[in-house]
Structure 1
Amino acid sequence: MMRSRTATRLPLDRPARSLSRRGRTLGVALALGALLASSGAIALATPAVAAVGTVKCPSTDCVRIAPAAGSPVAIAPDNAGAVYLAYSGGDLLKLDLATGALDPVTTGLGNLRGAVVADDSAYITSFDGTLQQVTLATGARRTLAAGLPALFGVARFGNTTYATSIDRQIIAVPDGGTARVVATGTGFSQGIAFDKAGLAYTADMMTGRILQTNLATGTTRVLASQTYEPTSISVGGDGLVYFQVGDEVKRVNATTGVQSHVTNIVGINSFGFTLTASGDAYTTGSGSDGLWRINGLTSR
């Protein structure tokens, strides 16, 4: 299927979020009350938190790069000059960072929730329980798995696509293979990330835990525990695990368990961010506030 070059509606489809932390926590609890049961307690490392700096938007540290981007549910940089935006209405758009052009890749993908770019393709999860692969050059798509629980975060490691589900599972779909559950009790996480060793990381919004899972054994351990819902799980080039709690960005050393403050994001109602290979991050403000780039997030 060739990509259409006609004008594409930019959906403003992420629900506006309350600035009240209590209100946002209540909203998650009401929507996902069935997920309140958590796995067994595990001893936590005592976090070491030190306050440094604030990222103000707009500023030289935080630049709005696509004012008309609407509210994508997932941001997927290709680390080669483009960012792909997925919308809950089923649209996938490409933003050329050099020109600012915002073009459609394809539409009609379903009730989207997650996206990642790898191997010249976008891998897309949906609340409908489908995992799709979209060829970025043409917009052609194929279904890799269907009939699964609602899917959220998605990542690639090796020749396998991994997704988090509403059932607090990690589901693996190998290239040319069938979907299977490789870990359970991993919490309700809107994202999933991998380190170089192939360990998986999730952020349980219901219990506040940052989790590391060994997919070879299915065992999970708690790296850190938050008093508020963590989002935006990423592994930086420095090997540290990054996530967001409210307007604060934090990181944790997966080896030592030491947690530290990175920065606060102020000026926009940022719910989470997507980390790039360079250490920059992309985020959206509420409503139609557009797409923002936070420069050098991991170097703070």
Structure 2
Amino acid sequence: MRSRTAMRFPLDRPARSLDRPALSLGSRVGTLGVSLALGALLASGTAISLAAPAVAATGDVKCPSTACVQVASGAGSPVGIAPDNAGSVYLAYSGGDLLKLDLATGALSTITTGLGNLRGVAVADGNAYITNFEGTLQQVSLATGSRRTLAAGLPSLFGVTRVGTTTYVTDGDGEIVAVPDGGAARVVATGLGFSYGIAFDKAGLAYTADMMTGRILQTNVATGTTRTLVTQTYEPTSISVGPDGLVYFMVANEVKRVNPTTAVQAHVTNLVGIGSFSFSLAASGDAYTAGNGNDGLWRIIGLTAR
């Protein structure tokens, strides 16, 4: 097993105070050196703080507004967000807690605690799939909070998603790892850089966002072949596939999308008023994001329709 050290994000639960060193990502003058530094911070578990722009321009989404609604002021700063498309959002915290947010009532409840130094969460078939920095993938029952380990001893794990009976994760070595139910973990793609997330389209192709080089990548996990869709000059920090089949990602406070067939990208909007780092798309086309500090959880209404 590889040795590693990590410092937890200071916020373990929503009720706790936040004291984080500032790393401003509001400027669009990032360089590869900044990208490497940011990737190193995320990989080590060090917390970062994002500076939100002060003035909204035409077409921007201002928070709060009718297009950006705070759905949980007490949610703190989760490191992973997973809407279940059935009225709840699940939140993972670096201190090892998994919480459920009821969107109808705004109530937060604890599913379980003590899951380790968490990084990502996905929900499917009544379970949550959790990655942590120690290289462990866990499955947690959303009904009972019971857990089991699906894989351990891997490099530090970050992004996670579920496709059929297989869980896919990204790791700190630039790999996609597949963990089939009842089977052993195996590397299905390499050379992907540092991606904090992973998403699949309906054709079974995977998408990752390399913060180190700014690439948005499409990977065939059956063959391990990778295609570069977009090369940015700044760190893409989020990756999702929308209900329209387009790939959405974040560059500083800007949301962008790319057509995975033509590789044509377009500006969607800027998120103004909250220091958002990333977002998760729901099947409705709404997005959920955590604001900087203790700003809580926000819903961006109809993001994919913009």
- With the shorter chain as reference, the TM-score category is 0.7 to 0.9
- Shift of the alpha carbon at 1:9? 6.0
The 1:62–1:9 alpha-carbon spacing in structure 2 relative to 1, beyond 3 Å, is closer
The size of the alignment, in residue pairs, is 277
**Residue of structure 1 in register with 2:37 after alignment:** 30
CA distance in 1, matches of 2:215, 2:294: 30
CA distance in 1, matches of 2:20, 2:149: 27
- Shift of the alpha carbon at 1:202? 0.1
The one-letter code matched in structure 1 to 2:276 is: S
> Gaps spanning 5+ residues in structure 2: where?
1-12, 41-56
Question: Which consecutive aligned stretches of 4+ in structure 1 deviate over 6 angstroms post-superposition?
Answer: 22-25
SS of match in other structure, 2:304: helix
For 1:66-215, list aligned pairs within 5 A.
Answer: 66-215=72-221
CA distance in 2, matches of 1:73, 1:131: 15
- The partner residue of 1:18 within 23, 28, 33 is 23
CA distance in 1, matches of 2:108, 2:301: 21
The 1:296–1:12 alpha-carbon spacing in structure 2 relative to 1, beyond 3 Å, is farther
Deviations 1:114-170 (A, max 9, x none): 000000000000000000000000000000000000000000111100000000000
Deviations 1:61-91 (A, max 9, x none): 0011101101100001110000010000000
CA distance in 2, matches of 1:95, 1:89: 18
CA distance in 2, matches of 1:291, 1:129: 27
> TM-score, normalization: structure 2?
0.86
- Shift of the alpha carbon at 1:248? 0.4
**Residue of structure 2 in register with 1:4 after alignment:** none
CA distance in 1, matches of 2:170, 2:120: 10
The one-letter code matched in structure 2 to 1:30 is: A
State, as a whole percentage, how many aligned pairs show the same letter: 71
Does the CA-based 8 Å contact 2:14-2:74 persist in structure 1? no
CA distance in 2, matches of 1:294, 1:31: 25
Does the CA-based 8 Å contact 1:73-1:86 persist in structure 2? yes
- Shift of the alpha carbon at 1:16? 5.7
The 1:258–1:180 alpha-carbon spacing in structure 2 relative to 1, beyond 3 Å, is same
The one-letter code matched in structure 1 to 2:105 is: T
- Shift of the alpha carbon at 1:14? 9.2
CA distance in 1, matches of 2:14, 2:264: 45
- Shift of the alpha carbon at 1:13? 6.5
**Residue of structure 2 in register with 1:46 after alignment:** none
- Shift of the alpha carbon at 1:32? 4.5
CA distance in 2, matches of 1:14, 1:27: 22
CA distance in 2, matches of 1:64, 1:76: 16
> TM-score, normalization: structure 1?
0.88
Does the CA-based 8 Å contact 1:86-1:92 persist in structure 2? yes
> Gaps spanning 5+ residues in structure 1: where?
1-7, 34-50
CA distance in 2, matches of 1:14, 1:298: 33
CA distance in 2, matches of 1:241, 1:179: 26
1:53 aligns with 2:93: no
Does the CA-based 8 Å contact 1:52-1:262 persist in structure 2? no
The one-letter code matched in structure 2 to 1:261 is: H
Does the CA-based 8 Å contact 2:26-2:253 persist in structure 1? no
The 1:20–1:175 alpha-carbon spacing in structure 2 relative to 1, beyond 3 Å, is closer
The one-letter code matched in structure 1 to 2:81 is: I
CA distance in 1, matches of 2:30, 2:143: 38
The 1:67–1:155 alpha-carbon spacing in structure 2 relative to 1, beyond 3 Å, is same
